[in-house]
């Protein structure tokens, strides 16, 4: 069992203020596989104080961006050497199939470190502009102390999408991992220490909701970066609004995959399986609404059903597994409730249903619903599990209308033999990230959502800009 009894604050391992602990339970075996201290508001106070001191008095924000980028580059080298270990920890603590952990859960955070190390080496911190009486210097400065609140589904991805640009910008940071997945953050803390990042620049305190809200509300925090549910995002946004505190909110999604009539279904299903069922369906960008024309509706339903049947359910540590367990029993029950709702609404499960595939572990049967409409709850609410809903459309304009008929606007895809036609569809769907014949989140490009999917952007130069304040300095002559 992986056991820790300290917190990473101020550059060292310190005893927690309280005596509470967090048990990390394997979603496959339902057994305890780790234990860490549960952070308290007092621990958050210490972490913010350390980050505040490091920002106000330490060397980190006073280094050049290129110097900070070089340190982040060293962290990337250390991360690269341990990414296999990181993948195994994430699979153990939250049930992500090991192939997905090795393909995305560990490599994507590494890629972010490498990207921002490269971007920071040449990013312009100052520029000159003409003014009325003389030149104006426009300067970019770090926003200050950052609170990063992250969920459990892709824990390192959502930490690094905040940590890497914040570090390059010159910010200091307090990271609150989700209580379901604290173990990977301890490995990251070891890497941060080894990389030589100054004391107090990075602080990591695993905790629950009470301590998390205390962190968000803390007057010593200048910016909050949150990834999670839309409901929690609204609460965090309201706190930040009251305090005029900067925030980035990456929230829920209910993304649509539009299958055009010219799509080669046999080739598309391989990519769609990743886009719709990655990480056991526990992904905010998952393409869970499959839109098919009435001309090919039955054919698409059959193809999606065959795709899902071809993804073995089982032990996430087994490389042959396509779909593993959900992160917790409450999540298992939530997803089963939605399957029950879909049946009650009149949709037909052509694959899966309410019978659990395994007797032990928090598994649900991967389910494909046919005969659904976009007005059903299974088509409108984020389920966060391996449940797909195939919805018919009349023509291309109707498909775009259905895709846009959602409270969310995080991601989406279109599948077609004509790339230019796919681009035209992409331009009409109101989401922050879109794919033509695949779905990718690119380190060089902004990621975020429209509507209830959030505020602000992460990744790309835009993700670095989110941790910078602009200062204009005018001078005479």
Task: Report d(CA 257, CA 435) in Å as an integer.
Answer: 9
Q: How would you class 387 by CB atoms within 10 Å of its CB: exposed for 0-12, middle for 13-18, buried for 19 or more?
A: buried
Q: Is 171 a catalytic residue?
A: no
Q: What is the chain's percent helix, strand, coil content, to nearest 5?
A: 40, 20, 35
User: Could you tell me which of 57, 48, 4 has the C-alpha nearest to residue 203?
Assistant: 48
Asked whether the beta carbons of 403 and 291 are under 8 A apart, the reply is yes
Reduced 3-state DSSP string for 233-245: HHHHHHHHHHHCC
Which residues have CB under 8 Å from 440's CB, separation 6+? none
Q: Is 284 a catalytic residue?
A: yes
User: Which of 250, 336, 396, 458 is labelled catalytic?
Assistant: 250
Task: Report d(CA 361, CA 321) in Å as an integer.
Answer: 14
228: alpha, beta or left? (left if phi > 0; alpha if psi -120 to 50): left
- List the structure tokens of 71: 């340190």
Q: How is residue 197 annotated by DSSP?
A: P
Distances (CA, A) of 4 to 202, 287, 474: 18, 37, 52
Asked whether the beta carbons of 142 and 55 are under 8 A apart, the reply is yes
User: Which of 284, 336, 382, 396 is labelled catalytic?
Assistant: 284
Q: How many CA atoms lie within 13 A of 402 on its CB side?
A: 27
Angle between the 265-277 and 297-309 helix axes, to the nearest 10 degrees? 60
User: Could you tell me which of 229, 232, 220 has the C-alpha nearest to residue 173?
Assistant: 220
Active site residues: 250, 284
């Amino acid at each position: 069992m992986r056991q820790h009894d300290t917190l990473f604050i101020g550059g060292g391992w310190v005893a927690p203020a309280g005596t509470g602990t967090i048990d990390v339970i394997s979603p496959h075996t339902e057994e305890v596989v780790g234990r860490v201290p549960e952070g308290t508001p007092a621990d958050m106070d210490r972490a913010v104080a350390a980050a505040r001191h490091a920002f106000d008095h330490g060397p980190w924000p006073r280094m050049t961006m290129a110097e900070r980028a070089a340190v982040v580059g060293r962290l990337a080298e250390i991360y690269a050497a341990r990414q296999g270990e990181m993948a195994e920890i994430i699979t153990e603590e939250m049930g992500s199939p090991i192939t997905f952990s090795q393909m995305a859960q560990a490599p994507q955070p590494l890629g972010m470190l490498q990207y921002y190390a490269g971007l920071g080496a040449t990013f312009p911190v100052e520029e000159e502009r003409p003014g009325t009486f003389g030149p104006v210097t426009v300067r970019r400065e770090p926003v200050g102390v950052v609170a990063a609140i992250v969920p459990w589904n892709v824990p390192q991805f959502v930490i690094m999408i905040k940590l890497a640009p914040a570090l390059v910008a010159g910010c200091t940071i307090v990271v609150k991992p989700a209580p379901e997945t604290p173990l990977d953050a301890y490995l990251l803390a070891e890497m941060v220490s080894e990389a030589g990042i100054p004391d107090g620049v990075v602080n990591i305190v695993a905790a629950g909701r009470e301590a998390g809200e205390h962190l968000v509300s803390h007057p010593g925090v200048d910016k909050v970066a949150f990834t999670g549910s839309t409901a929690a995002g609204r609460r965090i946004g309201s706190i930040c609004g009251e305090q005029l505190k900067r925030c980035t909110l990456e929230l829920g999604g209910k993304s649509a995959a539009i299958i055009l009539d010219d799509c080669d279904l046999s080739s598309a299903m391989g990519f769609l399986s990743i886009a719709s069922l990655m990480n056991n369906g526990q992904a905010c960008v998952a393409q869970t609404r499959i839109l098919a024309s009435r001309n090919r509706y039955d054919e698409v339903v059959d193809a999606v059903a065959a795709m899902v049947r071809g993804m073995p359910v089982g032990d996430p540590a087994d490389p042959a597994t396509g779909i593993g367990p959900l992160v917790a029993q409450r999540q298992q029950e939530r997803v089963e409730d939605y399957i029950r709702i879909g049946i009650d609404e009149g949709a037909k499960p052509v694959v899966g249903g309410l019978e659990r595939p395994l007797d032990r572990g928090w598994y649900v049967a991967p389910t494909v619903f046919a005969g659904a409409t976009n007005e059903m709850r299974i088509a409108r609410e984020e389920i966060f599990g391996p449940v797909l809903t195939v919805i018919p459309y009349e023509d291309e304009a109707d498909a775009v209308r259905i895709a846009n008929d959602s409270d969310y606007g995080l991601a989406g895809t279109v599948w077609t033999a004509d790339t230019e036609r796919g681009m035209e569809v992409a331009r009409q769907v109101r989401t922050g990230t879109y794919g033509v014949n695949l779905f990718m989140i690119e380190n060089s490009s902004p990621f975020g959502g429209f509507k209830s999917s959030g505020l602000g952007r992460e990744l790309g130069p835009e993700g670095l800009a989110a941790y910078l304040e602009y200062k204009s300095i005018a001078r005479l002559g």
